[in-house]
Amino acid sequence: MASSNAYAQRDPMLKKRDDFEDILEERRNSSDLRYALKCYTPALYKGVAPCKSSMLKSMVLQSDQLHYVIQQVSKETGRQTDNVQEEVSAILDEMAHSLQLSTVRFFAFTLSKIFKSLFKSIRVNEEGIQRLQQAIQDHPVVLLPSHRSYMDFLLMSYLLYTYDLTLPVIAAGMDFMGMKFVGEMFRMSGAFFIRRSFGGNKLYWAVFSEYVKTMLKNGFAPVEFFLEGTRSRTSKSLIPKLGLLNIVMDPFLKGEVFDVHVVPVSISYERILEETLYARELLGIPKPKESTSGLFKARKVLSEDYGSIHVYFGQPVSVRSLAEGRVNRCQFNLVPRHIPGRPDEDIHSFVNDSAYKLVRAQEDNMVLKPWVLLASLLLQKQAVGQEQGTALDELTAQAVWLRDLSRQYGAFLHWPDQMTPSEVVSSSLSLHRGLVRTCEGKVQLALEHEGGAVGPQSAAALEEKLLSQAVIVLSCASYRNQALHVFLRPALLASAIHAASSNQKQEVFNSFSFLRNMFSNEFILCPGATVQDFEEACYLLVKTGTLQVTQKEVLVNERGHRTLAFLVSMLDPFLQGYQVVCRFLCEEATETLTEKQFIPAIRKFIIKHLLAGRLRYAEVLSSDLQKNSLAAFLRLGAVEKIKGPIELLIVFHT
């Protein structure tokens, strides 16, 4: 473990970030129609002519890759190649985008209207846009936005249109196709559709990967997809999915292009449109199927204030640089490149590491609003049972303390310095008045009133009350979660110190390593970077005067207890959650438990404990946490999945 000195160069405080410009300002001052009809002439990759979707399809159909797979499928199944070819065409038709400028202009117009009514501002780092513009001209580009809302991909295309950049083609989940009209609209604005699961369907995979590669290799348009695979319902970054990243890196690894540049984009919403929707979903209130009518019903959201959006286009990352010294590209020399093959172990781990790096790059440039800090504080208070709330000035003082701490940890905090702290706090609280209540100068989460008859209530009513409180708590937690990546490593160290039996450095490290390992399905923790993370955490806590770290020992400073307590509380809900899942598995899962039954069963178990007051955190009800913990226990070998007609979960009592 190197001295913390080595870390000084990576001091997050020194991170230089670009300034933002509000693009809505111009929209408010000039005609949307003229904007929608403006002359759109994006600079293209090496001057290639844009490609019509029909031409793209025929390029894909004629590719060696597809030709090979068609032959193979035909040989294996005994079907005529023509027949397989037809299937391929059908898949391609179902998948392909058909970008039309008129549709884009329609969206440009309507989205201008919608954005202006929903948001105060949409702020973009224009230097990032300039970097992107350069990247698009020099290399095939992949855009990797964070995914917190349905809005994300519309917003992305809207921005690129605004800045006269080549519109991306976007990998969208098939579920959109359910909304017939909207689906087609999306298709015409550059979305292409992939089935949610096609494991084992060789033909589908071949068409899909060839389609993406053809677009990318020829540099027709930037390819955009969500590394996290789906919208994060918790505002925590999700463990990256590797399929598409594999596909877009492949042309570089096989030498078909000189380089591919991937651009992480961080989209931060001050208020997420889907806020309570997500909370309900996590609590098991089923998600409404995407439908056009549903979308229109969502119109009521239009009347509310959703604050501002920050979009940060990160530094383009060269895949070539990522692979330098990591991947031996010669391994592709001995087999024709059009023959599909499973990636080798080293390629897989390279793509996996890259994916984590990219998600962390997204996290790094997420803009945090003061509310995020307030939510963290209020949740902690609520959990220790401060029924009557916190005095406003006390909360403000704590928020200022946390503001300074988070900045020291490198948070990209957007705290309006021209306002007094109390103004900042009250404006945040008012924007989120659905979640928080101020009463007689005291602030607390807007949980259900205790009012009404204090007498006995039916079990069903109690449960209902609990769930509706949980909606608020989970909504709040989703804001706190936005700041998790800032505090994660220090918090793991704080919890490790808390849990370790001594202050021996090795002991603390072991406990850190254990926690980190256990939570690696929950948070973005780069594989194999335990030592690095430990050093980073030590560095930050030493720098802020919380700890002293010597060769052998980790000592807590007198003035460090407050920070440490805060950090421990930050992770506590997760720790408790994992413990309760563990208890459930030990106590209740003695008989055969199938994976399908797991979520309902554990939910019931947790509700029971919450109602009995044995459990503090309502957010443990989050199915996200429950799934992650199960995945962690499976990975750690505490639970085993037995494949059979029904999948069984077997718990090892150790």
In the complex, which residues of this chain contact other proteins (CB under 8 A)? 255-256, 258-259, 328-330, 332-333, 336-337
| Cβ nearer to other proteins, comparing 127 with 138 | 138
Q: Please count the residues of the chain.
A: 654
Q: Closest separation between CB of residue 251 and other proteins, Å?
A: 10
| Cβ nearer to other proteins, comparing 336 with 644 | 336
| Cβ nearer to other proteins, comparing 193 with 220 | 220
Give the number of other Cβ atoms within 10 Å of residue 430's Cβ: 11
Q: Closest separation between CB of residue 43 and other proteins, Å?
A: 17
| Cβ nearer to other proteins, comparing 333 with 504 | 333
Q: Closest separation between CB of residue 364 and other proteins, Å?
A: 25
Q: Closest separation between CB of residue 53 and other proteins, Å?
A: 23
Residue at 178: amino acid letter:
G
The string of DSSP codes covering 308-370 is EEEEEE---EEHHHHHTTT--GGGGSSS-TTS--PPPHHHHHHHHHHHHHHHHHHHHTPPBPH
Query: Rounded to the nearest 5°, which phi and psi values hold at 261?
Result: -105, 125
Q: Closest separation between CB of residue 54 and other proteins, Å?
A: 22
Q: Which residues pair with 261 in a beta bridge?
A: 141, 318
Burial readout 551-587 (b: 16 or more C-beta within 10 A, e: otherwise) = eeebebeeebeebbebbbbbbbbbbbbbebbebbbee
| Cβ nearer to other proteins, comparing 54 with 328 | 328
Torsion of CA 315, 316, 319, 320, to 10 degrees: -90
Q: Closest separation between CB of residue 336 and other proteins, Å?
A: 7
| Cβ nearer to other proteins, comparing 205 with 332 | 332
Q: Closest separation between CB of residue 326 and other proteins, Å?
A: 12
Q: Closest separation between CB of residue 205 and other proteins, Å?
A: 22
| Cβ nearer to other proteins, comparing 333 with 592 | 333
Would you say 359 and 237 are in contact if contact means Cβ atoms under 8 Å apart?
yes
Compute CA distances 76 → 40, 208, 337, 473, 550, whole Å: 48, 20, 21, 54, 64
Torsion of CA 439, 442, 444, 448, to 10 degrees: -30
Q: Closest separation between CB of residue 343 and other proteins, Å?
A: 16
Q: Closest separation between CB of residue 521 and other proteins, Å?
A: 35
User: From the centroid of its chain, how far is CA 553?
Assistant: 36
| Cβ nearer to other proteins, comparing 255 with 434 | 255
Would you say 281 and 232 are in contact if contact means Cβ atoms under 8 Å apart?
no
User: From the centroid of its chain, how far is CA 101?
Assistant: 30
| Cβ nearer to other proteins, comparing 262 with 649 | 262
Q: Closest separation between CB of residue 138 and other proteins, Å?
A: 10
Q: Closest separation between CB of residue 96 and other proteins, Å?
A: 25
Tokens 């945040």 locate to 428
Interacting residues of 215 by C-beta distance below 8 A, sequence separation 6+ = 51, 56, 169, 221, 223
User: CA–CA separation, 290 vs 46, rounded Å?
Assistant: 39
Q: Closest separation between CB of residue 331 and other proteins, Å?
A: 10
| Cβ nearer to other proteins, comparing 179 with 257 | 257
User: CA–CA separation, 251 vs 263, rounded Å?
Assistant: 17
User: CA–CA separation, 495 vs 564, rounded Å?
Assistant: 8
| Cβ nearer to other proteins, comparing 247 with 484 | 247
HEC sequence for 499-564? HCCCCEHHHHHHHHHHHHHHHHHCCCCCCCCHHHHHHHHHHHHHHCCCEEECCCEEEECHHHHHHH
Q: Closest separation between CB of residue 258 and other proteins, Å?
A: 4
H or E element in which residue 208 lies: helix 202-217
| Cβ nearer to other proteins, comparing 10 with 329 | 329
Would you say 300 and 434 are in contact if contact means Cβ atoms under 8 Å apart?
no
Q: Closest separation between CB of residue 255 and other proteins, Å?
A: 4
The token pair at 562 is 């407050």
| Cβ nearer to other proteins, comparing 199 with 336 | 336
User: CA–CA separation, 585 vs 310, rounded Å?
Assistant: 42
Torsion of CA 112, 118, 120, 126, to 10 degrees: -50
Radius of gyration of the chain (CA): 26
| Cβ nearer to other proteins, comparing 138 with 463 | 138
Give the number of other Cβ atoms within 10 Å of residue 35's Cβ: 16
| Cβ nearer to other proteins, comparing 327 with 541 | 327
Tokens 């957007």 locate to 414
Residue whose C-alpha is closest to residue 239's, from 316, 147, 149? 147
Q: Closest separation between CB of residue 254 and other proteins, Å?
A: 8
Compute CA distances 32 → 109, 110, 113, 114, 167, whole Å: 6, 9, 8, 11, 19
| Cβ nearer to other proteins, comparing 47 with 78 | 47
